[in-house]
Amino acid sequence: MDNVLVIREDVALALQAGQPVVALESTVIAHGLPRPQNLQTARAMEAAVREEGAIPATIAILDGRLVAGLSSEQLAAFAASGGIAKVSRADLAAALAARVTGATTVAATMLIAERAGIRVFATGGIGGVHRGAERSFDISADLPELARTPVAVVCAGAKAILDLPRTLEVLETLGVPVAGYRTNKFPAFYMEDSGLPLQSRVDTPAEAARWMQLHWQLGLMSGIVFCNPPPSASALGKQEVDGWIAQALQSAAAAEIRGKAVTPYLLDYLAKASGGKTLQTNIALLVHNARVAAQIAKAYSSLGSA
């Protein structure tokens, strides 16, 4: 792996010393947020992780290598460039062979984090079962990745554009634990409550860390989803969001958007239709998730099993 996986020096040192590290993804930077908010948010997430006493490792593919821990300059160049490939598990070898710059999805970021030895990862909302998946079969590769890769993902649930009841059903089928972080409800990304109850919750970083330890001690190789609702002050109401989502889905259908382009198209449409409101909420929840992930990473590393 050495010639393929590059781990930033401070990240490697922290991992060797059993100190907390938080992985961050790069599809949200390249495809989930517009410029210049993408770089500002990536930096704010890294700063939140550091403030909590952990080391951030933003993961991407640069010039044919998997990089765990972009430097400040690499991050700026990445956020500024257009035409970056969206890379999931299936695309990794092709991206390396073609020496492209690649943005890693939740699925690819989890996989690379695990190879690097990082156990905690923060994102906005995971991918899931798309609405109408009974016809399109569009189910994010994030779900099967969660089933096979032992990394804890801190997120505000799954993205609101998805079919959330079916997303939860698939996670259950795949044996992926889904816990509310200080909530009994599955959040809906921009909204604190999807209306779907969660079976379990944790209330402290120490409890989350204990879960991780037990789950992996049992030899269960799946990921764990910790659902951290968006901060109340920036959460949006169901009625307004549902209206924007309906418009976004209609527009995507009319424009015949398919495959990897679907999620970026919908997020961009929502940001515009809402006059920037969904963008502000997306940014707030990303930074909040980074902070909570760092707290969990710290608690997990203090257990000494990292």
Residue number, 27 or 289, with CB nearest to Mn ion: 27
| Range 26-37 burial, b when 16+ CB lie within 10 A, else e | bbbbbbbbeeeb
* 238 tagged catalytic: no
Site string for ligand PSU, 186-225 (x = CB under 6 A): ----------------------------------------
Query: Should residue 38 be labelled a site residue for ligand PSU when binding is judged by CB under 6 A?
Result: no
Nearest residue to ligand PSU, using CB?
A: 124
The residue annotated as part of the active site, out of 25, 46, 145, 192, is 25
Residue number, 127 or 299, with CB nearest to ligand PSU: 127
205 interacts with, out of ligand PSU, Mn ion, none, CB within 5 to 8 A per kind: none
Query: Should residue 124 be labelled a site residue for ligand PSU when binding is judged by CB under 6 A?
Result: yes
Residue number, 49 or 267, with CB nearest to ligand PSU: 267
Q: Residue 27 CB, nearest distance to ligand PSU (Å)?
A: 3
Residue number, 52 or 142, with CB nearest to ligand PSU: 142
Residue number, 138 or 192, with CB nearest to Mn ion: 138
Query: Should residue 301 be labelled a site residue for ligand PSU when binding is judged by CB under 6 A?
Result: no
* 25 tagged catalytic: yes
Q: Strands 178-181 and 120-122: what pairing?
A: unpaired
Binding residues vs ligand PSU (CB under 6 A):
25, 27-28, 31-32, 105-106, 123-125, 127, 140-142, 260, 263, 267, 282, 286
Catalytic residue annotation = 25, 159
Binding residues vs Mn ion (CB under 5 A):
138
